[in-house]
Amino acid sequence: MAPPASTAIPDSSISTTPAPDPMTGSTPTTHIWKKFRLRLLKFTGSAVAIGGLVVAIKYGMTTDRLAKWTAIKDFREVCLNSLGVEHLWSRTYGLSAGLRTSTQYFIMDRNYDRLLVVGDLVVGGSWLRSVLEIPPDAYEIATSLDCERNAGKVRSKLHGLPFLVKDNIASADRLQTTAGSWALLGSVVPRDAFVVAKLREAGAILLGKATLSEWADMRSNNYSEGYSARGGQARSPYNFTVNPGGSSTGSAIAVSNNVVPFALGTETDGSVINPSMRNAIVGIKPTVGLTSRAGVIPESEHQDTVGVFGKTVADAVYVLDAIYGIDGRDNYTAAQAGKTPDGGYAQYMSKAQVLKGTSFGIPWASFWQYADQEQLDTLLTMLEVLKGAGATIVNGTELQHPEIVSPDGWNWDYGTVRGYLNESEYSYITVDFYNNIATYLSELSNTNIRSLEDLVQYNIDNVGSEGGTPGIHPAFGSGQDGFLASLATKGARNETYYQALAFCQRTSREEGIDYALRNGGKKVDALLLPPDVAQAVQIAAQAGYPIITIPASIHIDSGMPYGLAILGTAFSEATIVKYASAMEDLFVSSGSAFQRSKTKPTWSNYLDRNLPVPY
């Protein structure tokens, strides 16, 4: 069986033979592809973006002439700029490439199953499983937005662009919101999540729900990252047999592989930064309280935040500007009053020149020492490039108490491992989940699921699909022990709860990130971290502080990407956007090994369907 087509299209030819179905081995018949070609909205010539596959069409053209006609070589460079948003990785796409209408994303007869089959034979569906569901009315919405554009009304830079949201972000339409579980199938949400409503107001088109690690990794402690009962196992286009990152798995994969130009995910502890880094894209995890969680299936009110995935810092920041703001249904957002800039964060995007005279802290003992040697070689070289641009690198900007960091990797129950229940993140996360999920479920209609007890029982009653008992389902090795740990708390906010919360916030904030930034009175502008060292991402999560990851390179053996993260204090998004965009510009313009062309998907082990994927 031939491998799936790469997102990198050769200069001289494009394969006009569709990839074989990965499950059956059969190849779609020619008439399907003719139908696909002819049922697009009529136009004289265009590059059509569907499911990450570029198909250059000249109306009525036969497929044997397709390769000679197209001028687009790499769809990884045909992204968010398709309708006018500046994209830092390329200057020659978008309107000039022919993506002139939003409706060109959709098949004219609204045969959305065929859309997924054709596009995702190459970049999703049964291969990557990044998209869980798409709405039946997306074409009509796109048509309406095209009419607005033609009439001279452009709502924002995102007008007419399609996006996905993680399947724990509510949309009051014909899409489901289930956290990847069958338990909530058919339930009806009362309204759009605040962030979805904001993107609709900006003119963006909700193309569907992205797959995720079921219940955002809350239900189990021994699980297959990126798996959900409804969505199956999502896989990274870089290596099918390796953890693709989660829990916002499908959101990151879809952006990485060009299904959509941007997507939303959520993070409680690593769920935006980890999949971004593992799929060679930019991820922004904002300060808790910058983006509303109203309408989001919750875990912890103290750490949940809605984040953004994009190909570049610019892409992600335009989306962040569209979704942040104060929301009366999330009282945490009131904290941003007076702390956000007039005019948004895009105004802070910068070129490499601003790095001259800056200083960046390296918490070596706290985090960097845990990176593998291959990553260290690349990241230390990147630091030398930064120094060449005039930045000062300050080593040894440590947490006040580096012993709180688990030497064995991410572990949100590490306090208990050390013997202190009142120093464990898990001590308050489990309590928060019990209470927060009950509040969320109380607003749903058309469901009998009203509590965590109901969810636990559902998983037991449907053990074959939901793996409610350990050892039954390969994706849920420990069954639903995360749910059971939360259930055992009964939501009691007792002394241990408050002690654990205070300990984790203090040691990650004033005695952690802020302590490192102060650097003994010689303040640094931001901290630089290796995000593949999950402990570094965990500290940002516990603090509720903003962090951005940008692509760095890929591992030689596994082909999996890794990144460089920029971390700041609360509501310092303007600062880290400034420096992340400047670093991105520097690394690309320097002609170094960090250019995006060095991190294209390799589709390693694409025939393997292992489950679970190793963490």
| Positions marked active-site | 166, 247, 271
Exposed/middle/buried for residue 306 (C-beta within 10 Å: 0-12, 13-18, 19+): buried
Q: How far apart are CA 80 and CA 157, in angstroms?
A: 9
H/E element, 573? helix 573-589
Phi-psi region of 60 (alpha: psi -120 to 50; beta: other; left: phi over 0): left
**Residue 126 has which token pair?**
């049964």
Give the chain's length. Answer: 615
DSSP string, 477-526: TTTTHHHHHHHHHTT---HHHHHHHHHHHHHHIIIIIHHHHHGGGS--SE
**Omega of the bond prior to 298 within 30 degrees of 0, cis?**
no
Buried b (16+ CB within 10 A) or exposed e, 42-68: eeeebbbbbbbbbbbbbeeeebeebbe
Cα separations in angstroms, 432 against 167, 296, 427, 448, 535: 20, 14, 9, 22, 21
**Omega of the bond prior to 236 within 30 degrees of 0, cis?**
no
Contact 71, 104 (CB under 8 A): no
Contact 236, 242 (CB under 8 A): yes
Q: How far apart are CA 90 and CA 390, in angstroms?
A: 26
CB atoms within 10 A of CB 614: 9
**Residue 101 has which token pair?**
């209408």
Nearest to 392 by CA among 383, 381, 400, 401: 383
- Strands (DSSP E) contained in 253-335 are 262-267, 282-285, 305-310
Q: Is 415 helix (H, G, I), strand (E, B) or coil?
A: helix
CA dihedral for 372, 377, 382, 388, sign (positive or negative):
positive
- Phi/psi of residue 17, nearest 5 degrees: -95, 120
Q: Is 64 helix (H, G, I), strand (E, B) or coil?
A: helix
CB atoms within 10 A of CB 467: 26
Nearest to 577 by CA among 552, 547, 532, 553: 547
Residue 153's Cβ-side half-sphere holds a number of Cα atoms within 13 Å equal to 9
CA dihedral for 247, 249, 250, 256, sign (positive or negative):
positive
DSSP string, 211-269: P-SGGGGTS-SSB-TTEETTTEE--BTTBTTS----SSHHHHHHHHTTS-SEEEEEESS
Contacts of 242 (CB under 8 A, 6+ apart): 236, 558, 560, 613, 614
Q: How far apart are CA 515 and CA 287, in angstroms?
A: 18
Query: Cα–chain-centroid distance for residue 9?
Result: 25
- Phi/psi of residue 412, nearest 5 degrees: -80, 5
